[in-house]
Amino acid sequence: MATVTTTGRQKSGWGTANTIVIALALIPVLWMVSLSFKTPPAILDPSLLPKQWTWGNYTGILSTSQFIRPLVNSIGIGLISTLIAVVLASMSAYAVARLQFPGKSVLIGMALLIAMFPAISLVTPMFNIERSLGLFNTWPGLIIPYVAFGLPLGIYTLSAFFREIPWELEKAAKIDGATPFQAFVKVIAPLAAPGMVTTSILVFLACWNEFLFAISFTSTLASRTAPASLAYFSGSSQFTVPTGPIAAAAVVITIPIIVFVVFFQRRIVAGLTSGAVKG
């Protein structure tokens, strides 16, 4: 009896704690959504539900290249960076997981170091480098740093996946006449596919959310990404604060993340249960 009441109490305790944490995380999001549906005069209205709903903020931002073009940049830069980072990361993760080679611990250490390095300290030197190389305000100007920062993440995630694949499969492939590269492409990579998808999503989200480099290394719509473009929104007159459009743009940027996270959860569960066994 005593244990049951304890369990009940524990349950309600956890329930309360969880509710508080979720509320803390979600209230700003809900507020953002609410703002995006409010008319400009109602922006300062403290109620969560808008008294008068409007799509105006959305139609406004989606009808101007000020937001559409950065959205295209974001998708393009994100996809290219992800592709390059995951292909390179899968190769080096394979080496890290499988091979003994001189400098292996240095490589892992460097990857960790890059992942931990404060990005802000790199902005100024990289700004100068990009300007002298002519990469400033171009897609490659963002893709290269994104790949660099996506790699450590990819190497760590993927090497964990590769380690789970039985070593003997590779021996079998070698005996069957595969070159090391064929063994990787035809046997190991397909089995690590769930891991690659997971890694791709993580890297893509990191690129998608990135703000510091995006605002520092771009100057025009040619390469400005969606998060950076928010900072350049202007109101209908120079005395209007563009709160509504910014909220609407933030919601638009968040939607793919929500979609990915839902998709990604399913993927990782499927990956862990059937990936290594059934493929």
**Which residues bind to other proteins, rule: CB under 8 A?**
166, 168-169, 171-179, 182, 186-187, 190-191, 276-279
Query: Which residue lies nearer to other proteins by CB, 188 or 249?
Result: 188
Contact 178, 109 (CB under 8 A): no
Least distance between other proteins and beta carbon 260 (Å): 25
Q: What phi and psi values does residue 183 have, to the nearest 5 degrees? A: -60, -40
> Which of 199, 210, 264 is closest to 77 using CA atoms?
210
Query: Which residue lies nearer to other proteins by CB, 7 or 182?
Result: 182
Least distance between other proteins and beta carbon 105 (Å): 16
> Which of 226, 204, 252 is closest to 58 using CA atoms?
252
Least distance between other proteins and beta carbon 191 (Å): 6
Please give the Cα distance from 33 to 244 (Å, whole number). Answer: 10
Contact 88, 158 (CB under 8 A): no
Structure tokens at 19: 């509710």
Least distance between other proteins and beta carbon 178 (Å): 6
Q: What share of the chain is helix, strand, coil (3-state, %, to 5)?
A: 75, 0, 25
Query: Which residue lies nearer to other proteins by CB, 12 or 179?
Result: 179
Structure tokens at 261: 């996270």
Query: Which residue lies nearer to other proteins by CB, 13 or 279?
Result: 279
Query: Which residue lies nearer to other proteins by CB, 165 or 228?
Result: 165
Least distance between other proteins and beta carbon 102 (Å): 12
Least distance between other proteins and beta carbon 185 (Å): 11
Please give the Cα distance from 227 to 277 (Å, whole number). Answer: 40
Query: Which residue lies nearer to other proteins by CB, 15 or 166?
Result: 166
